[in-house]
Structure 1
């Protein structure tokens, strides 16, 4: 399973996600760090991503080359991350048919009613449980097609 983690600014959230995914799944998951800037990509690579790419074109190109996209809710909002996430990136990500797992962390002027404000580690634990379930579905689907 190839998973893209998208982050910007300092890459702190992506770093936490990749670190936890790597510890949980070891080398049984292929992690692609997609940063809106080089600092974010570097932080995610240091955390254990297999590959990394930076910028608008890299994100737009790679999101349809993976099985899963992970990031904060802001990756589908134009001009989020202090303007680092361009409208073209947001459109490409939200329009992609690739499954997206979005963490409801957003520092902009958006509030999602009904979402509880949890610390990032709680969201990442829920993310890992969801990915375990998806991996089982993915394995079953692959076996059915072979």
Structure 2
């Protein structure tokens, strides 16, 4: 099973997601750290992603192989992350057959209503619990 973690900017969110996935999932799960920039990819690789790739084409190609995609909400918003998310990246994530788990971390000018305001660590824990439930992982 391949889990694609997508992040940009400094890679802090993606790095934490990869770290928690490594702690919670069996070692045979492949984790791809897909960064909109090299700094984000580097942070995810330092947190033990199996593979890392950077940029638009890498994300467009890699999400096709993924069984699950995890990242902040911005990965499906063209021009999200201060312009790091391209139209093609956002469309590739949305069009991928993978199960998508988006953390409700809103970019500027966006507000999501009806959601609990939780710390990032709890959002990541909820995301991993949802992934385990979706794929029957004990």
- State the TM-score, normalized to the length of structure 2: 0.95
Aligned length: 138
State the partner residue of 1:97: 97
User: How do 1:20-99 residues align onto structure 2 when only pairs under 5 Å count?
Assistant: 20-99=20-99
Q: Distance in 1 between matches of 2:48 and 2:26?
A: 9
State the partner residue of 1:107: 107
Residue 82 of structure 1 aligns to a residue in which SS?
helix
**8 Å contact kept, 2:31–2:50:** yes
1:10 matched to 2:16: no
1:60-93 deviation line (CA, Å, top 9, x unaligned) = 0111111001001111000010100011111111
Q: Distance in 1 between matches of 2:68 and 2:45?
A: 18
Q: Which moved more, 1:111-120 or 1:15-24?
A: 111-120
Shift, 1:129, TM fit: 1.0
Shift, 1:118, TM fit: 1.1
Gaps of 5+ in 1: 138-146
Gaps of 5+ in 2: none
**8 Å contact kept, 1:80–1:108:** no
Shift, 1:26, TM fit: 4.3
Please give the root-mean-square deviation of Cα atoms over the aligned residues, in Å: 1.4
Residue 65 of structure 1 aligns to a residue in which SS?
coil
Larger Rg: 1
Q: Distance in 2 between matches of 1:114 and 1:100?
A: 19
Q: Distance in 1 between matches of 2:22 and 2:113?
A: 32
Q: Which moved more, 1:23-32 or 1:44-53?
A: 23-32
Q: Distance in 2 between matches of 1:124 and 1:64?
A: 23
Q: Distance in 2 between matches of 1:76 and 1:124?
A: 18
Q: Distance in 2 between matches of 1:125 and 1:59?
A: 24
Residue 31 of structure 1 aligns to a residue in which SS?
strand
